Structure 1
Protein backbone atom coordinates (compact mmCIF):
# COMPACT_ATOMS: atom_id res chain seq x y z
CA UNK A 1 0.00 0.00 0.00
CA UNK A 2 1.26 3.41 -0.90
CA UNK A 3 0.29 4.87 2.41
CA UNK A 4 2.49 2.35 4.22
CA UNK A 5 5.60 3.07 2.12
CA UNK A 6 6.66 6.25 3.82
CA UNK A 7 5.45 9.79 4.13
CA UNK A 8 4.54 11.12 0.69
CA UNK A 9 3.51 14.56 -0.45
CA UNK A 10 0.08 13.23 -1.34
CA UNK A 11 -0.41 11.73 2.11
CA UNK A 12 0.64 14.95 3.84
CA UNK A 13 -1.73 16.96 1.66
CA UNK A 14 -4.65 14.59 2.27
CA UNK A 15 -4.07 14.61 6.02
CA UNK A 16 -4.01 18.40 6.06
CA UNK A 17 -7.09 18.74 3.86
CA UNK A 18 -9.20 16.36 5.91
CA UNK A 19 -8.04 17.85 9.21
CA UNK A 20 -9.24 21.17 7.81
CA UNK A 21 -12.53 19.57 6.76
CA UNK A 22 -13.13 18.31 10.29
CA UNK A 23 -12.36 21.75 11.69
CA UNK A 24 -14.65 23.42 9.15
CA UNK A 25 -17.49 21.07 10.06
CA UNK A 26 -17.75 22.75 13.46
CA UNK A 27 -18.48 26.10 11.81
CA UNK A 28 -21.87 24.94 10.55
CA UNK A 29 -24.69 26.20 12.81
CA UNK A 30 -25.44 23.64 15.48
CA UNK A 31 -28.03 22.76 18.08
CA UNK A 32 -26.80 22.56 21.69
CA UNK A 33 -28.49 19.71 23.55
CA UNK A 34 -29.07 19.12 27.26
CA UNK A 35 -25.79 18.36 29.05
CA UNK A 36 -23.71 20.51 26.72
CA UNK A 37 -23.46 17.99 23.87
CA UNK A 38 -23.57 19.88 20.54
CA UNK A 39 -25.08 18.49 17.35
CA UNK A 40 -22.69 19.34 14.48
CA UNK A 41 -21.51 17.97 11.14
CA UNK A 42 -18.40 16.51 12.75
CA UNK A 43 -19.78 12.99 12.41
CA UNK A 44 -20.02 13.44 8.65
CA UNK A 45 -16.45 14.74 8.45
CA UNK A 46 -15.03 12.02 10.70
CA UNK A 47 -16.77 9.22 8.80
CA UNK A 48 -15.74 10.64 5.43
CA UNK A 49 -12.14 10.92 6.63
CA UNK A 50 -12.01 7.26 7.60
CA UNK A 51 -13.76 6.00 4.47
CA UNK A 52 -11.50 7.97 2.13
CA UNK A 53 -8.06 7.95 3.75
CA UNK A 54 -7.64 4.50 5.26
CA UNK A 55 -6.53 3.85 8.86
CA UNK A 56 -3.18 5.60 9.20
CA UNK A 57 -3.90 8.77 7.30
CA UNK A 58 -7.33 9.03 8.95
CA UNK A 59 -5.68 8.65 12.36
CA UNK A 60 -3.16 11.33 11.42
CA UNK A 61 -5.87 13.73 10.18
CA UNK A 62 -8.01 13.42 13.31
CA UNK A 63 -4.94 13.64 15.55
CA UNK A 64 -3.79 16.79 13.72
CA UNK A 65 -7.25 18.32 14.17
CA UNK A 66 -7.29 17.51 17.89
CA UNK A 67 -3.72 18.68 18.37
CA UNK A 68 -4.46 22.07 16.83
CA UNK A 69 -7.53 22.43 19.00
CA UNK A 70 -5.72 21.43 22.16
CA UNK A 71 -3.00 24.03 21.62
CA UNK A 72 -5.52 26.82 21.26
CA UNK A 73 -7.11 26.91 17.81
CA UNK A 74 -10.87 27.51 18.25
CA UNK A 75 -11.89 24.58 16.06
CA UNK A 76 -13.94 22.48 18.46
CA UNK A 77 -17.72 22.72 18.69
CA UNK A 78 -18.97 26.14 19.80
CA UNK A 79 -15.55 27.62 18.93
CA UNK A 80 -13.99 26.03 22.01
CA UNK A 81 -10.27 25.34 22.29
CA UNK A 82 -7.68 23.99 24.70
CA UNK A 83 -7.25 20.87 26.79
CA UNK A 84 -10.20 21.95 28.93
CA UNK A 85 -12.45 20.59 26.18
CA UNK A 86 -10.98 17.13 26.68
CA UNK A 87 -11.78 17.19 30.39
CA UNK A 88 -15.31 18.48 29.80
CA UNK A 89 -18.47 16.45 29.20
CA UNK A 90 -17.85 16.09 25.47
CA UNK A 91 -14.21 15.01 25.71
CA UNK A 92 -15.10 11.36 25.26
CA UNK A 93 -16.63 12.07 21.89
CA UNK A 94 -13.31 13.49 20.70
CA UNK A 95 -11.56 10.29 21.70
CA UNK A 96 -14.34 8.33 20.02
CA UNK A 97 -13.66 10.25 16.81
CA UNK A 98 -10.09 8.94 16.75
CA UNK A 99 -11.28 5.37 17.27
CA UNK A 100 -14.06 5.62 14.69
CA UNK A 101 -11.95 7.17 11.93
CA UNK A 102 -9.17 4.60 12.38
CA UNK A 103 -11.51 1.59 12.41
CA UNK A 104 -13.49 2.85 9.42
CA UNK A 105 -10.24 3.44 7.57
CA UNK A 106 -9.18 -0.14 8.18
CA UNK A 107 -12.54 -1.47 7.02
CA UNK A 108 -12.48 0.71 3.90
CA UNK A 109 -9.02 -0.60 3.13
CA UNK A 110 -10.35 -4.15 3.31
CA UNK A 111 -13.05 -3.22 0.80
CA UNK A 112 -10.40 -1.77 -1.50
CA UNK A 113 -8.27 -4.90 -1.30
CA UNK A 114 -11.26 -7.03 -2.23
CA UNK A 115 -12.10 -4.82 -5.18
CA UNK A 116 -15.43 -3.76 -3.73
CA UNK A 117 -14.77 -0.03 -4.18
CA UNK A 118 -14.32 -0.56 -7.92
CA UNK A 119 -17.80 -2.06 -8.26
CA UNK A 120 -20.22 0.80 -8.72
CA UNK A 121 -23.25 -1.26 -7.78
CA UNK A 122 -22.16 -2.12 -4.27
CA UNK A 123 -19.43 0.37 -3.37
CA UNK A 124 -21.80 2.99 -1.97
CA UNK A 125 -23.87 0.49 0.00
CA UNK A 126 -20.72 -1.13 1.39
CA UNK A 127 -19.24 2.19 2.48
CA UNK A 128 -22.50 3.21 4.15
CA UNK A 129 -22.63 -0.17 5.87
CA UNK A 130 -19.19 0.10 7.41
CA UNK A 131 -19.79 3.79 8.12
CA UNK A 132 -22.59 2.83 10.48
CA UNK A 133 -19.96 1.15 12.66
CA UNK A 134 -18.78 4.63 13.63
CA UNK A 135 -21.95 5.34 15.61
CA UNK A 136 -21.46 2.76 18.40
CA UNK A 137 -17.70 3.38 18.37
CA UNK A 138 -18.21 7.07 19.19
CA UNK A 139 -20.97 6.39 21.70
CA UNK A 140 -19.06 3.68 23.57
CA UNK A 141 -16.48 6.27 24.59
CA UNK A 142 -18.49 9.48 24.53
CA UNK A 143 -21.51 8.46 26.58
CA UNK A 144 -19.69 6.95 29.60
CA UNK A 145 -17.43 10.02 29.59
CA UNK A 146 -20.49 12.28 29.56
CA UNK A 147 -21.98 10.35 32.49
CA UNK A 148 -18.71 10.55 34.41
CA UNK A 149 -18.23 14.28 33.91
CA UNK A 150 -21.84 15.34 34.56
CA UNK A 151 -22.89 12.87 37.23
CA UNK A 152 -26.09 11.96 35.38
CA UNK A 153 -27.19 8.32 35.37
CA UNK A 154 -26.46 6.13 32.37
CA UNK A 155 -30.10 5.08 31.99
CA UNK A 156 -33.26 7.17 32.54
CA UNK A 157 -34.75 6.85 36.02
CA UNK A 158 -38.29 7.88 35.10
CA UNK A 159 -40.18 10.94 33.90
CA UNK A 160 -43.16 11.07 36.25
CA UNK A 161 -42.47 14.40 37.98
CA UNK A 162 -40.38 16.57 35.69
CA UNK A 163 -38.52 16.52 32.41
CA UNK A 164 -35.18 16.49 34.22
CA UNK A 165 -36.04 13.06 35.56
CA UNK A 166 -35.42 11.82 32.01
CA UNK A 167 -31.89 13.20 31.81
CA UNK A 168 -29.41 10.36 31.46
CA UNK A 169 -26.46 9.34 29.37
CA UNK A 170 -28.72 7.49 26.94
CA UNK A 171 -31.41 10.17 26.58
CA UNK A 172 -28.90 13.01 26.32
CA UNK A 173 -25.91 11.42 24.58
CA UNK A 174 -27.51 8.81 22.31
CA UNK A 175 -31.18 9.16 21.42
CA UNK A 176 -31.13 12.77 20.14
CA UNK A 177 -28.17 11.97 17.90
CA UNK A 178 -29.24 8.72 16.23
CA UNK A 179 -31.41 10.02 13.36
CA UNK A 180 -28.96 12.74 12.41
CA UNK A 181 -25.94 10.46 12.75
CA UNK A 182 -27.49 7.87 10.46
CA UNK A 183 -28.26 10.50 7.83
CA UNK A 184 -24.72 11.88 8.06
CA UNK A 185 -23.22 8.41 7.66
CA UNK A 186 -25.35 7.83 4.56
CA UNK A 187 -24.20 11.16 3.11
CA UNK A 188 -20.56 10.39 3.92
CA UNK A 189 -20.82 6.98 2.27
CA UNK A 190 -22.25 8.50 -0.91
CA UNK A 191 -19.54 11.16 -1.06
CA UNK A 192 -16.78 8.65 -0.26
CA UNK A 193 -17.94 6.34 -3.06
CA UNK A 194 -17.83 9.25 -5.50
CA UNK A 195 -14.31 10.16 -4.36
CA UNK A 196 -13.09 6.59 -4.79
CA UNK A 197 -14.59 6.45 -8.28
CA UNK A 198 -12.77 9.64 -9.21
CA UNK A 199 -9.49 8.65 -7.50
CA UNK A 200 -9.40 4.82 -7.43
CA UNK A 201 -5.84 4.65 -6.11
CA UNK A 202 -6.42 6.41 -2.78
CA UNK A 203 -6.39 3.17 -0.81
CA UNK A 204 -3.93 1.43 -3.09
CA UNK A 205 -6.40 -0.67 -5.07
CA UNK A 206 -5.33 0.81 -8.40
CA UNK A 207 -1.66 0.12 -7.66
CA UNK A 208 -2.36 -3.50 -6.76
CA UNK A 209 -4.48 -3.95 -9.85
CA UNK A 210 -1.76 -2.52 -12.07
CA UNK A 211 0.85 -4.73 -10.44
CA UNK A 212 -1.15 -7.76 -11.55
CA UNK A 213 -1.06 -6.67 -15.22
CA UNK A 214 1.67 -8.77 -16.79
CA UNK A 215 3.65 -7.79 -19.84
CA UNK A 216 2.41 -9.95 -22.80
CA UNK A 217 5.95 -11.02 -23.78
CA UNK A 218 6.71 -12.07 -20.19
CA UNK A 219 3.46 -14.02 -20.07
CA UNK A 220 4.24 -15.76 -23.37
CA UNK A 221 7.72 -16.67 -22.14
CA UNK A 222 6.27 -18.03 -18.91
CA UNK A 223 3.75 -20.12 -20.82
CA UNK A 224 6.32 -21.71 -23.13
CA UNK A 225 8.82 -22.34 -20.35
Structure 2
Protein backbone atom coordinates (compact mmCIF):
# COMPACT_ATOMS: atom_id res chain seq x y z
CA UNK A 1 0.00 0.00 0.00
CA UNK A 2 1.37 3.37 -1.02
CA UNK A 3 2.14 5.94 1.64
CA UNK A 4 -0.76 8.39 1.72
CA UNK A 5 1.61 11.14 2.75
CA UNK A 6 3.94 10.58 -0.15
CA UNK A 7 5.38 13.76 -1.64
CA UNK A 8 3.44 15.06 -4.61
CA UNK A 9 5.24 15.22 -7.92
CA UNK A 10 4.01 18.75 -8.64
CA UNK A 11 3.51 20.72 -5.42
CA UNK A 12 0.82 23.40 -5.64
CA UNK A 13 3.27 26.16 -4.82
CA UNK A 14 5.52 25.13 -7.68
CA UNK A 15 2.66 25.15 -10.16
CA UNK A 16 1.72 28.65 -9.00
CA UNK A 17 5.30 29.88 -9.50
CA UNK A 18 5.42 28.32 -12.95
CA UNK A 19 2.23 30.17 -13.90
CA UNK A 20 3.57 33.46 -12.51
CA UNK A 21 6.77 33.26 -14.52
CA UNK A 22 4.97 32.22 -17.70
CA UNK A 23 2.85 35.35 -17.23
CA UNK A 24 5.95 37.45 -16.49
CA UNK A 25 7.62 36.41 -19.74
CA UNK A 26 4.42 37.30 -21.59
CA UNK A 27 4.23 40.71 -19.89
CA UNK A 28 7.83 41.45 -20.89
CA UNK A 29 6.66 41.21 -24.48
CA UNK A 30 4.29 44.17 -24.07
CA UNK A 31 6.92 46.85 -24.79
CA UNK A 32 7.21 45.31 -28.25
CA UNK A 33 10.29 44.40 -30.24
CA UNK A 34 12.95 46.15 -32.24
CA UNK A 35 14.65 45.04 -35.43
CA UNK A 36 18.15 46.46 -35.77
CA UNK A 37 20.67 46.49 -38.61
CA UNK A 38 18.29 44.58 -40.86
CA UNK A 39 18.20 41.46 -38.68
CA UNK A 40 14.90 39.64 -39.19
CA UNK A 41 14.96 38.39 -35.59
CA UNK A 42 13.92 41.23 -33.25
CA UNK A 43 15.33 42.29 -29.91
CA UNK A 44 12.84 41.71 -27.10
CA UNK A 45 12.77 41.80 -23.31
CA UNK A 46 11.28 38.34 -23.10
CA UNK A 47 14.68 36.64 -22.90
CA UNK A 48 15.14 38.60 -19.67
CA UNK A 49 12.12 36.69 -18.36
CA UNK A 50 13.66 33.41 -19.50
CA UNK A 51 16.84 34.21 -17.55
CA UNK A 52 14.84 35.24 -14.49
CA UNK A 53 12.85 32.01 -14.61
CA UNK A 54 16.02 29.93 -14.71
CA UNK A 55 17.83 31.91 -12.00
CA UNK A 56 14.89 31.93 -9.58
CA UNK A 57 12.93 28.76 -10.30
CA UNK A 58 15.65 26.26 -11.09
CA UNK A 59 15.80 23.64 -13.82
CA UNK A 60 12.46 21.93 -14.27
CA UNK A 61 10.18 24.72 -13.06
CA UNK A 62 11.86 27.23 -15.39
CA UNK A 63 11.61 24.87 -18.35
CA UNK A 64 7.95 24.21 -17.54
CA UNK A 65 7.15 27.94 -17.27
CA UNK A 66 8.61 28.58 -20.72
CA UNK A 67 6.89 25.50 -22.15
CA UNK A 68 3.52 26.68 -20.82
CA UNK A 69 4.02 30.06 -22.47
CA UNK A 70 5.01 28.55 -25.82
CA UNK A 71 2.08 26.12 -25.79
CA UNK A 72 -0.26 29.07 -25.28
CA UNK A 73 1.48 30.90 -28.12
CA UNK A 74 1.09 27.87 -30.38
CA UNK A 75 -2.61 27.80 -29.47
CA UNK A 76 -2.92 31.29 -30.92
CA UNK A 77 -2.59 33.61 -27.94
CA UNK A 78 -0.65 36.79 -28.88
CA UNK A 79 1.82 36.52 -26.02
CA UNK A 80 5.04 37.21 -27.88
CA UNK A 81 6.45 40.69 -28.40
CA UNK A 82 4.53 42.65 -31.00
CA UNK A 83 1.37 40.65 -30.25
CA UNK A 84 2.58 37.62 -32.17
CA UNK A 85 1.06 34.20 -31.68
CA UNK A 86 -0.03 31.07 -33.50
CA UNK A 87 1.84 28.18 -35.06
CA UNK A 88 3.24 30.46 -37.74
CA UNK A 89 5.80 31.95 -35.37
CA UNK A 90 7.41 28.51 -35.10
CA UNK A 91 8.00 28.49 -38.84
CA UNK A 92 9.62 31.92 -38.95
CA UNK A 93 13.20 33.13 -38.44
CA UNK A 94 12.68 33.39 -34.66
CA UNK A 95 11.58 29.76 -34.32
CA UNK A 96 14.91 28.41 -33.12
CA UNK A 97 15.31 31.16 -30.57
CA UNK A 98 11.82 30.52 -29.19
CA UNK A 99 12.39 26.77 -28.94
CA UNK A 100 15.79 27.50 -27.42
CA UNK A 101 14.11 29.31 -24.54
CA UNK A 102 13.19 25.95 -22.99
CA UNK A 103 16.67 24.41 -22.73
CA UNK A 104 18.08 27.90 -22.13
CA UNK A 105 15.93 28.35 -19.03
CA UNK A 106 16.67 24.79 -17.91
CA UNK A 107 20.44 25.16 -18.25
CA UNK A 108 20.36 28.49 -16.43
CA UNK A 109 18.43 26.87 -13.60
CA UNK A 110 20.70 23.82 -13.54
CA UNK A 111 23.81 25.99 -13.22
CA UNK A 112 22.24 28.07 -10.46
CA UNK A 113 21.30 24.90 -8.58
CA UNK A 114 24.93 23.75 -8.80
CA UNK A 115 26.06 27.11 -7.39
CA UNK A 116 24.74 26.02 -3.99
CA UNK A 117 22.62 27.50 -1.26
CA UNK A 118 24.05 31.01 -1.57
CA UNK A 119 24.92 31.67 -5.24
CA UNK A 120 26.97 34.81 -5.77
CA UNK A 121 26.28 37.43 -8.39
CA UNK A 122 29.11 36.15 -10.60
CA UNK A 123 27.69 32.62 -10.58
CA UNK A 124 24.27 33.99 -11.47
CA UNK A 125 25.61 36.11 -14.33
CA UNK A 126 27.57 33.16 -15.72
CA UNK A 127 24.48 30.94 -15.52
CA UNK A 128 22.36 33.53 -17.32
CA UNK A 129 24.98 34.02 -20.03
CA UNK A 130 25.52 30.31 -20.62
CA UNK A 131 21.86 29.29 -20.55
CA UNK A 132 20.00 32.48 -21.43
CA UNK A 133 22.37 33.53 -24.20
CA UNK A 134 24.70 30.71 -25.25
CA UNK A 135 22.18 27.87 -25.39
CA UNK A 136 19.53 30.01 -27.07
CA UNK A 137 21.99 31.26 -29.69
CA UNK A 138 23.29 27.73 -30.25
CA UNK A 139 19.81 26.64 -31.32
CA UNK A 140 18.45 29.89 -32.71
CA UNK A 141 21.21 30.93 -35.11
CA UNK A 142 21.42 27.69 -37.17
CA UNK A 143 17.62 27.51 -37.38
CA UNK A 144 17.43 31.14 -38.50
CA UNK A 145 20.04 30.48 -41.18
CA UNK A 146 18.19 27.38 -42.38
CA UNK A 147 14.80 29.11 -42.55
CA UNK A 148 16.05 32.28 -44.24
CA UNK A 149 18.45 30.48 -46.55
CA UNK A 150 21.31 32.68 -45.37
CA UNK A 151 24.83 31.45 -44.71
CA UNK A 152 25.61 30.57 -41.11
CA UNK A 153 28.51 33.01 -40.63
CA UNK A 154 26.62 36.19 -41.68
CA UNK A 155 23.68 35.07 -39.52
CA UNK A 156 26.05 34.62 -36.59
CA UNK A 157 27.52 38.09 -37.10
CA UNK A 158 24.04 39.63 -37.30
CA UNK A 159 23.04 37.97 -34.04
CA UNK A 160 26.26 39.10 -32.36
CA UNK A 161 24.84 42.63 -32.44
CA UNK A 162 22.48 41.55 -29.67
CA UNK A 163 25.26 40.52 -27.29
CA UNK A 164 25.72 43.87 -25.48
CA UNK A 165 22.01 44.04 -24.63
CA UNK A 166 21.98 40.37 -23.68
CA UNK A 167 24.84 41.04 -21.28
CA UNK A 168 22.78 43.83 -19.68
CA UNK A 169 19.81 41.46 -19.40
CA UNK A 170 22.00 38.84 -17.72
CA UNK A 171 23.26 41.36 -15.17
CA UNK A 172 19.74 42.66 -14.47
CA UNK A 173 18.32 39.14 -14.14
CA UNK A 174 21.16 38.17 -11.81
CA UNK A 175 20.64 41.24 -9.64
CA UNK A 176 16.92 40.58 -9.34
CA UNK A 177 17.51 36.90 -8.61
CA UNK A 178 20.13 37.70 -6.00
CA UNK A 179 17.82 40.17 -4.29
CA UNK A 180 14.95 37.69 -4.35
CA UNK A 181 17.09 34.94 -2.87
CA UNK A 182 18.35 37.19 -0.09
CA UNK A 183 14.81 38.22 0.79
CA UNK A 184 13.46 34.67 0.49
CA UNK A 185 16.27 32.16 1.16
CA UNK A 186 13.90 29.26 0.54
CA UNK A 187 13.57 30.50 -3.05
CA UNK A 188 17.18 29.57 -3.83
CA UNK A 189 16.90 26.69 -6.35
CA UNK A 190 19.39 24.48 -4.50
CA UNK A 191 17.53 24.99 -1.22
CA UNK A 192 14.17 24.30 -2.85
CA UNK A 193 15.51 21.13 -4.43
CA UNK A 194 16.78 19.88 -1.07
CA UNK A 195 13.43 20.60 0.56
CA UNK A 196 11.62 18.62 -2.12
CA UNK A 197 13.97 15.68 -1.62
CA UNK A 198 13.28 15.69 2.12
CA UNK A 199 9.54 16.13 1.65
CA UNK A 200 9.47 19.76 2.73
CA UNK A 201 8.34 21.27 -0.58
CA UNK A 202 4.92 22.75 -1.09
TM-score band by shorter chain is 0.7 to 0.9
5+ residue gaps in structure 2? 1-6, 198-202
Taking structure 2 as the reference length, the TM-score comes to 0.86
1:59 lines up with 2:57 in the alignment: no
Number of matched residues?
A: 188
Within the candidate set 154, 166, 179, 1:181 is matched to: 166
Shift of 1:170: 1.6
Q: What is the 5 A alignment of 1:1-225?
A: 6-33=9-36, 34-112=38-116, 115-117=117-119, 123-134=120-131, 135-155=133-153, 168-172=154-158, 174-202=159-187, 203=189, 205=191, 208=194
Query: RMSD of aligned C-alpha atoms?
Result: 2.1
Taking structure 1 as the reference length, the TM-score comes to 0.78
CA change 1:83–1:125 in 2 (3 A) is same
Partners of 1:137 and 1:81 lie apart in 2 by 23
5+ residue gaps in structure 1? 118-122, 156-167, 212-225
Q: Please tell me whether the aligned partners of residues 58 and 110 of structure 2 are also in contact (alpha carbons under 8 angstroms).
A: yes
Name the SS for the 1:205 alignment partner. helix
Deviates more, 1:33-42 or 1:178-187: 33-42
Structure showing greater Rg: 1
Name the SS for the 1:84 alignment partner. helix
Q: Please tell me whether the aligned partners of residues 35 and 89 of structure 1 are also in contact (alpha carbons under 8 angstroms).
A: no
